[in-house]
Amino acid sequence: MCAAALVAAASVLTAAGSATAAPLLCLASERQIFAPAGTINDPVGELLACRLVTLKEVPGNISMTAYQVRYVSTDLRGKKIPVTGTVAVPSAAWTKGGSRPTVAFHPGTLGSGSQCAFSKQLAGAYQDMYEGEQIASFLKAGYAVAATDGVGYVDGSVHTYMIGQNAGHALLDLVRASRKIPFGSLRADGAVGISGYSEGGAASLWAAQVAASYAPELKVVGAAAGGVPGDLKVTAAKLNGGLFAGFLADAVVGLHEAYPDLPFDALLNDRGRQAVADVKSKCLLGTLAAFAGQKVENFTTAKYSLEQLYALTDPAGNSWGQAVDAQKLGVGIGGPTSAATWKIGFPTFQYRGVFEEVIPVSTQEETRRLYCDAGIPTRFKNDYAGEHLTTDALARHDVTAWLGDRFTGRPVSDNC
């Protein structure tokens, strides 16, 4: 086949939503990566499209090969959906035995606007992303990184912020897809570590919870999760009316996207309709600025409180409260031989800062307790001398080292 024909064929196979197999080459455009969802017939974890990128927002001049990708995942109801993300592989050879391990990474909150997608920001379309140093830490240690954007950044979609199973599936399916990159070096037997902070911390633990049932073939050896909003009702009560109410606004819109039958549009007043538009168009700092000090009561015609909203139901009798409770971490978990809904056969590292001001300390402590009570070996560190955002950076080297110990099979030290 001539070169022109090969390129043409590869371009066809990278067309978003129409592929029937992994692309021959990574020749997709950014537009194809983020194309609207469409109908997907490909298997879960399939690579739909990829393009070579330079990660301009990862510091350190690390030699690597990086890709922006589109792949198949599923939502909480099992529907196939396209998700986007980044795969980066260090150029330096892996010399510590076996196949190169991969860190499945979910970023902290970046905002729900389409321009906020982590993979776009890493590749140079910077908004207010803050996780470049964490990606660099993993790459310097020799690990490949599979960093999902999370569900809902393709055109015409909305980020399903804080929807646990969506986030967990997206993380695990990107690892699967990373091993299908044309001429890629990642192998099916490579160990997998999971990592994230804040929104990413919740995603990390959800990936840990669903891994055995959703992706049993993956060799997951540990999950690191910091600043975890383990109980969204506890977190919402703190956020409502505070400086960080923008996170609550993101969560309400994300829940509506995931549970569209719950009453929503008819409840909104003019401010509420503008609030939804703001969430869907802004990134992190813009959202926080737009909602600082605001309460959910301000955005509905009946001035519903959180508790009143939780009681509202859809035509089938399912409530907002039930949808929120379904995202709670540590419920129904157990060891690999237990009868639990979510079986976890590897340890976790959970952490927070001393001066945490965003996520209630009580829910982080409870999540740790639930994991310990379920017999999951858990290392907990709660003395980082930082508040919410700076603790992410302060814990960076510990997270990298802890995952490194899991990759090399060192004994687990927990402090349950």
Query: Residues 61-112: pLDDT tens digits?
Result: 999 999 999 999 999 999 999 999 999 999 999 999 999 999 999 999 999 9
**Is residue 2 domain-resident?**
no
Are β-strands 219-226 and 348-353 bridged in parallel, bridged antiparallel, or unpaired? parallel
Asked if 346 and 377 sit in the same domain, the reply is yes
Which among 17, 14, 81 is positioned nearest to 51, based on CA atoms?
Answer: 14
Q: What is the mean pLDDT of the segment spanning 383-392? A: 97
Asked if 249 and 100 sit in the same domain, the reply is no
The CA distance from 85 to 56, in Å, is 15
**pLDDT, tens digit, 9 for 90 and up, residues 168-177:** 999 999 999 9
Q: What is the mean pLDDT of the segment spanning 34-48? A: 96
The CA distance from 182 to 154, in Å, is 22
Are β-strands 348-353 and 378-384 bridged in parallel, bridged antiparallel, or unpaired? parallel
* Contact between 20 and 41 (Cβ < 8 Å): yes
**pLDDT above 70 for 33:** yes
Average pLDDT, the chain: 94
DSSP assignment letter at 100: P
Q: pTM to 2 decimals?
A: 0.94
Asked if 309 and 161 sit in the same domain, the reply is no
**Is residue 416 domain-resident?**
no
**Is residue 413 domain-resident?**
no
**Is residue 6 domain-resident?**
no
**Is residue 239 domain-resident?**
yes
Rg (CA), the chain: 20
Q: Cα 113 vs. chain centroid, distance in angstroms? A: 15
**Is residue 336 domain-resident?**
no
Burial of 41 (0-12, 13-18, 19+ CB in 10 A): exposed
How many CA atoms are closer than 13 Å to the CA of 343, on its beta-carbon side?
12
**pLDDT above 80 for 4:** no
Asked if 223 and 249 sit in the same domain, the reply is no
Q: Is the dihedral of CA 110, 382, 133, 414 positive or negative?
A: negative
Q: Looking at residue 21, what is its pLDDT? A: 63
Q: What is the mean pLDDT of the segment spanning 388-397? A: 97
236: CATH: 1.10.260.130
E strand or H helix at 170: helix 164-178
Range of the domain at 241: 232-325
**pLDDT above 50 for 1:** no
Asked if 305 and 356 sit in the same domain, the reply is no
Phi first, then psi: what are they for 147, rounded to 5°?
Answer: -105, 110
Q: Looking at residue 186, what is its pLDDT? A: 97
